[in-house]
Structure 1
C-alpha cells in the first residue's frame, strides 16, 4: 500500500493558457516520464454509496470526505490501482493498492470478496467499508493528463483535458467505451499538489496563469448531469 499526504488545489483553465503555462514549466520542472506529446491516458471507475454519500459530501463542501476508485492507464493492463482519497481540512490523504485485473473486474461488478486475499490492512478496510456502506460502481471518467514534477516538497502539477465519462457501462477494461464529454473541449483542469508549501518560483508561474478555482472534482463533473436529472 502506498500513502501520500499533501495539499491539492484545482483550477479551470483554457487550453490556450494550459499550453502557455506548460511551456513555462518546461523550463523549471521535470516532465513525468509517462508524458507523451499530449500527455497520458487515465481512466477511473468511481464507487459511491446507494444514497450518493460521497457525492453529496463533496457538493456540500464537508471538511471530512472520501472518494473510492479503481484507476488504470491502459485498457490492456493486467492490474488496476484501488485508491481511497480522504479530505482532511486543507490536506488530502491518498492510499492506493495494486490489484490484479481479475480482481479489479470483480470489484467493478460490486463483488468485493477478492479483497480478502490481500494481506495489506488497507484492503481489509476497503472491503469492510464498501460492504457496510453499500458502495456500488457509479461512473467511469477518462481524460488525458500532462504532469510536471519537482522533487522539493513532492510538488506535482498536472493538466487534465478531454475529460469524458459514462454511467451506462462499468467495464473498466473495455477498449470501446461509449463516453460523453463532461467539460468543454476548449477547457481543462489544472491541479497543484504539494507537501508543506509551494516553492516561490513555481507559485509565481501558477499565479500568473489565467484560471478560476474549481470547487468540484472530475467525479462530480461526471455525475452532475445525471444527478440533476434524478432530482
Structure 2
C-alpha cells in the first residue's frame, strides 16, 4: 500500500425506499449533515469519467481486479465554481482519492481535445493524466449524474451518503451542456448507500446500519452507466 495516500474503507449497498426511510431516521439523530448541503439537505454531483482505448477501468472492474484506478472530472450543483480532476484508487478493500482543481478554461480545453493544459512537469498527477491521454488515449466516456444526501461524524471520520436518481449522460461528454438530459441508469426505486470511514466505524453507527435485507454490493456508478449505455444504445465496448 502507498502510505503517502490516505486510504479509507468504503462499503456500498443498494437500498429501497422503505430501507432508506428507516436508515435516514436513525442516522439523522446520530450524525450531522454535510455543511455543503442545500435547503433540501442534498447537493447535485455530475462526473465525467475517462477510460483508455482498451476500456481498462471498465474491464478491470467487471473482471474483479482488486487493485485498480479510474479518472474523472467532477462538478457540483451544475456550477463551474469548483471543478476537480480526480483519480480514485482502489487497493484491496480500501480507497484513496487524489485531485487537483481545474479552471473553466482548462476544462473547456480538455473537452476540446487540447491536453497540453495538463502539461505541468512539477505536478505528478497532472503529468500522469497527460501521459495517459497522449500514450494510452485516455478519453471521456460517460457522464454520471446523481443527487447526494450526506451525513458525517468526526468519530472515525465517517461519511455516509444516500445517492439518488442515478442517471447517465449517454453519449454527451460536456458536464456543462445546458441541453443535457441524462436518463435513469438504475431502477427508479433504488438508491446507493455508501459508508466511508478511516480506521473504525463507531459501534452505534454499525448498530444503526443493521437492517434486514441490507447486503453489501459492488456498486460502481461508472460501470452501471456504461452498461446502460451499451444495453440501450448498442454501444460496443
Distance in 2 (CA, whole Å) between partners of 1:187 and 1:208 is 16
Q: In the comparison of the two structures, how many residue pairs are matched?
A: 230
| Contact residue 113 and residue 127 of structure 1 kept, 8 A | yes
In structure 2, what is the equivalent of residue 183 of structure 1?
Answer: 186
Q: CA deviation at 1:132?
A: 2.2
Deviation string, structure 1 residues 46-83 (Cα, Å, up to 9, x no partner): 00012211000001110111110000003332341100
In structure 2, what is the equivalent of residue 126 of structure 1?
Answer: 129
Q: CA deviation at 1:197?
A: 1.8
In structure 2, what is the equivalent of residue 76 of structure 1?
Answer: 79
In structure 1, what is the equivalent of residue 225 of structure 2?
Answer: 222
Q: CA deviation at 1:208?
A: 2.3
More off after superposition, 204-213 vs 37-46: 204-213
SS in 2 for 1:129: helix
Deviation string, structure 1 residues 151-209 (Cα, Å, up to 9, x no partner): 12211000001110123211111233121100112110000001112111111111226
Q: CA deviation at 1:106?
A: 2.0
Distance in 2 (CA, whole Å) between partners of 1:106 and 1:38 is 34
Distance in 2 (CA, whole Å) between partners of 1:64 and 1:206 is 27
In structure 2, what is the equivalent of residue 57 of structure 1?
Answer: 60
SS in 2 for 1:77: strand
Q: Which runs of 5+ in 1 are unaligned?
A: none
Match of 1:100 among 98, 103, 121: 103
Tell me if 1:165 matches 2:141.
no
Tell me if 1:13 matches 2:2.
no
Distance in 1 (CA, whole Å) between partners of 2:229 and 2:43 is 27
| Contact residue 21 and residue 209 of structure 1 kept, 8 A | no
In structure 2, what is the equivalent of residue 212 of structure 1?
Answer: 215
TM-score by length of 2: 0.90
Distance in 1 (CA, whole Å) between partners of 2:43 and 2:17 is 16
| Contact residue 106 and residue 114 of structure 1 kept, 8 A | yes
Distance in 1 (CA, whole Å) between partners of 2:147 and 2:212 is 20
Give matches, 1:25-36, under 5 Å: 25-36=27-38
